[in-house]
Amino acid sequence: LKEEGLDQIKQAENQKMLDKIRVELMGRKGELTEILHSMKDIAPENRPKVGQEVNQVRDILQKQLDEAKDHFLQAVIAKKLEEEKIDVTLPGREGHLGSKHPINIILDDLESYFIGMGYEVVQGPEIETDHYCFEMMNLPKDHPARDMQATFYIDEEDLLRTQTSGDQARVLEKHDFSKGPLKMVGPGKVYRRDDDDATHSHQFQQMEGLVVDKNVTMSDLKGTLEMIAKHVFGQDRKTRLRPSYFPFTEPSVEMDVSCFNCNGKGCPICKYTGWIEVLGAGMVHPNVLENAGVDSTVYGGFAFGLGLDRFAILKYGISDIRDFYTNDVRFLEQFRKEE
């Protein structure tokens, strides 16, 4: 049986044949097992000897089976390795890496600039209430200046915010002035029923800014705005402040930056004015402070709301604001070097 078994194992050509031999020899109905089962028919004095021999044969066959199995396994692995050979000289497949959106580049840069000057960054809700977006900002329901910003209303109280200025009221209500001055910026998306053109979009991004303390003056505001402009646009771009009107600031100003396209000479992008408006600002109106429970006889401050899309247009010389949201990768990829 031993010789026969070893012979069969030697002749097995593959794992399948080997499995069959194993079952025939050692399986439940295999020849060896049968011999072990028939031990009871052997004379008791011969049993130990026969048992020992059978066990020996079983061990030898088992060892041979294991070796053969290992041999087949190695062959399978070797074949697989051969088939899966990697050609390291092939050029790699290029993965597509996204790039940061130009507005986010400006946003991240401004955020860290303001954090460096001690401002905290807050995030207000895009679905804002009439209460925070308008009423707390000195714009009661019947105020004519509500027409300045065409609003998408959701219901009587909820709306898509037209400006980030509601963030001012939210932080003013919470700030503890005994712990120090309030300095915050609040970036985010805003929505208006504006007609789209090269510099206007129905959805754009603003960054609100608010500083409230004792003895804050208009020259602090002017200095801050000029610093921001120089930081983003460099030393050479011209800026100007124009008197303006906002219900929540008094006095109010707007800042223009000289047009990137015509360098101030006048072209269709700047509507032949030579300037593009980038932000509104002013000294916080006492009513805004009082509405939030801050004593306007002790505290005062300045606020600004800058248009991040306009900043990006001017910084990168983009001739149409709509390029920001049509998401053409060829447009977006140009800004990879700026990240």
Residues belonging to the binding site for Mg(2+) are 250
Question: Judged by CB, which is closer to ligand FA5: 128, or 309?
Answer: 309
Is residue 206 near ligand FA5 by the rule CB under 6 A?
yes
Is residue 279 near ligand FA5 by the rule CB under 6 A?
yes
Backbone CA torsion sign across 222, 225, 229, 232:
positive
Is residue 309 near ligand FA5 by the rule CB under 6 A?
yes
For residues 113-152, which are near ligand FA5 according to CB under 6 A? Answer: 149
Is residue 64 near ligand FA5 by the rule CB under 6 A?
no
Neighbours of 158 (CB within 10 A): 15
Is residue 260 near ligand FA5 by the rule CB under 6 A?
no
Is residue 192 near ligand FA5 by the rule CB under 6 A?
yes
91: Cβ contacts below 8 Å, ≥ 6 apart: none
For residues 159-178, which are near ligand FA5 according to CB under 6 A? Answer: 163, 165
Contact assessment for residue 319 and residue 269, using Cβ atoms and an 8 Å cutoff: yes
Supply the Cα-derived Rg of the chain in whole angstroms: 40
Closest distance of CB 203 from ligand FA5, Å:
8
Residue choice 277, 290, 320, 323 for contact with ligand FA5 (CB under 6 A):
277
| Whole-number Å distance between alpha carbons of 287 and 295 | 10
Contact assessment for residue 65 and residue 27, using Cβ atoms and an 8 Å cutoff: no
Is residue 233 near ligand FA5 by the rule CB under 6 A?
no
Question: Judged by CB, which is closer to ligand FA5: 304, or 335?
Answer: 304
- Footprint on this chain of ligand FA5 (rule: CB under 6 A): 149, 163, 165, 192, 194, 200-201, 204, 206, 246, 248-249, 252, 277-282, 303-305, 307, 309-310, 321
